[in-house]
């Protein structure tokens, strides 16, 4: 069990007031708050070992390089990657997905098929549309149901020897649906297709085991799991990373350069051109350590309690509908109230100190499916409490009264 008061004391921002009210932060799906240990680690890097990495023989460069590579090892262990060089530092999930999509431009030919799901964030739709436009491949969509789950029977019928890659999120950012990705990966591999998993919304809630999942690629961001913004990881199986061409050219990713020919560095440096976000990469390791110290079992227990409590309380409000009612859900609730625009609800409850997200959440196809302009999304983290949920519910009731 978590000592929630101790946990909350570790996050400085949670003690502040917004609009004269105690902050209730329910926008964790967009970005998580940062514990003091992460904030301190950023400052420590710049105060003590700020230097460029991999290229210097001087002491500070070696210290920074060691810290950066130790972080890579931490992340390798965290996601259970088989090989250290299968872990690539990126600027976030979007960067990782674009890296893979760019690489597949050299693999796909006209008539090949790319499968995406109807539950995807725009970051896992647009790069594949661009890829298909470039190569003549065909984009096919795995349909969803009214409960916000994927239609797995339809998915299996879409798979064929034309399918070259399947790309699907582990958890939906808009609905909280946890997709059956292990089964989906197995089915895709049976027809020879690769699989990329968008893990951006999953890593704050669970530890992905990439070997157990047997995914070919797994992308996620650091800022959603208590780490710095502008950080992320792309895991890729060694065989695939060796097959894909570099995404960017520049320093660090080369072995030898002449004006006649360039040869590329070995993994992982082949995909890590230029000076990276060194502080961010190091501190991402600090964030992973922090999350593991809290414990993902504890995180899941706390968040499941919050999800159950919020669902029950919100459904008691007349005219309120929750979108995303799948059997397997993370701690995300998207809802609307009949006749009221979600933006108006979000604006009013913000005045009461409640931070939620309103809009289409970069998932316009989902909103089009439900024929709505957007939703109010409350996304909970382990540092939130039932008392905060009660405050949100009362605020929503007040907003409804004002807007009706």
Residue 253 has pLDDT above 80, yes or no: no
Question: What rounded mean pLDDT belongs to the chain?
Answer: 96
Quick check: helix, strand or coil at residue 8? helix
Per-residue model confidence (pLDDT) at position 23: 98
Give start and end residues of each alpha helix (H) in 121-237: 126-135, 152-158, 181-190, 210-213
Nearest to 181 by CA among 130, 219, 147: 219
Residue 254 has pLDDT above 80, yes or no: no
Residue 251 has pLDDT above 80, yes or no: no
Question: Which pLDDT band, with edges at 50, 70 and 90, does 255 fall under?
Answer: confident
Per-residue model confidence (pLDDT) at position 282: 98
Tell me if 370 sits within 8 A of 349, measured CB to CB: no
In this structure, of 156-170, 230-244, 251-265, the range with the lowest mean pLDDT score is: 251-265
**pTM for this model (two decimals):** 0.96
Indicate which residues carry an active-site annotation.
Answer: 362
Question: Which pLDDT band, with edges at 50, 70 and 90, does 263 fall under?
Answer: confident
Mean of the pLDDT values across residues 369-395? 98
Question: Which pLDDT band, with edges at 50, 70 and 90, does 266 fall under?
Answer: confident
Per-residue model confidence (pLDDT) at position 264: 78
By DSSP bridging, strand 87-90 and strand 232-236 are antiparallel
Tally of CB atoms within 10 A around 70: 12
Give the residues across from 357 on adjacent strands: 377
Mean of the pLDDT values across residues 123-129? 98
Question: Which pLDDT band, with edges at 50, 70 and 90, does 301 fall under?
Answer: very high
């Amino acid at each position: 069990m978590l000592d929630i008061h101790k946990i909350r004391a570790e996050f400085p921002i949670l003690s502040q007031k917004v609009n004269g009210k105690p902050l209730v932060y329910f926008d964790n799906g967009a970005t998580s708050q940062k514990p003091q240990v992460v904030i301190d680690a950023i400052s420590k890097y710049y105060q003590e070992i700020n230097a460029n990495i991999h290229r210097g023989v001087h002491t500070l460069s070696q210290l920074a390089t060691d810290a950066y590579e130790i972080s890579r090892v931490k992340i390798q262990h965290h996601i259970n990657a088989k090989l250290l060089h299968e872990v690539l530092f990126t600027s976030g999930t979007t960067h990782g997905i674009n890296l893979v999509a760019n690489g597949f431009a050299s693999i796909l030919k006209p008539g090949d098929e790319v499968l995406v799901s109807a539950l995807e964030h725009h970051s896992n739709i647009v790069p594949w549309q661009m890829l298909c436009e470039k190569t003549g491949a065909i984009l096919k969509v795995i349909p969803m149901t009214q409960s916000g789950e994927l239609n797995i029977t339809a998915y299996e019928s879409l798979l064929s020897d034309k399918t070259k890659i399947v790309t699907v999120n582990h958890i939906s950012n808009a609905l909280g649906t946890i997709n059956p990705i292990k089964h989906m990966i197995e089915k895709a591999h049976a027809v020879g297709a690769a699989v990329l998993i968008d893990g951006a919304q999953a890593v704050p809630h669970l530890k992905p085991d990439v070997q157990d999942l047997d995914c070919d690629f797994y992308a996620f961001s650091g800022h959603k799991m208590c780490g710095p913004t502008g950080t992320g990881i792309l895991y890729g199986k060694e065989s695939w990373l060796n097959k894909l061409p570099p995404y960017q050219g520049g320093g660090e990713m080369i072995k030898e350069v002449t004006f006649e020919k360039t040869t590329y560095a070995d993994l992982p440096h082949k995909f890590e051109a230029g000076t990276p976000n060194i502080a961010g990469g190091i501190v991402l390791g600090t964030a992973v350590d922090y999350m593991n110290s809290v414990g993902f079992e504890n995180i899941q227990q706390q968040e499941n309690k919050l999800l159950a409590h919020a669902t029950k309380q919100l459904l008691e409000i007349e005219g309120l509908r929750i979108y995303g009612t799948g059997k397997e859900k993370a701690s995300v609730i998207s809802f609307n109230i009949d006749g009221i625009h979600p933006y108006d609800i979000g604006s009013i409850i913000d005045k009461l100190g409640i931070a939620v997200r309103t809009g289409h959440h970069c998932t316009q196809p989902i909103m089009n499916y439900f024929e709505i302009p957007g939703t109010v999304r409350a996304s909970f983290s382990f540092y939130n409490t039932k008392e905060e949920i009660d405050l949100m519910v009362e605020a929503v009731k007040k907003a409804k009264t004002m807007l009706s």
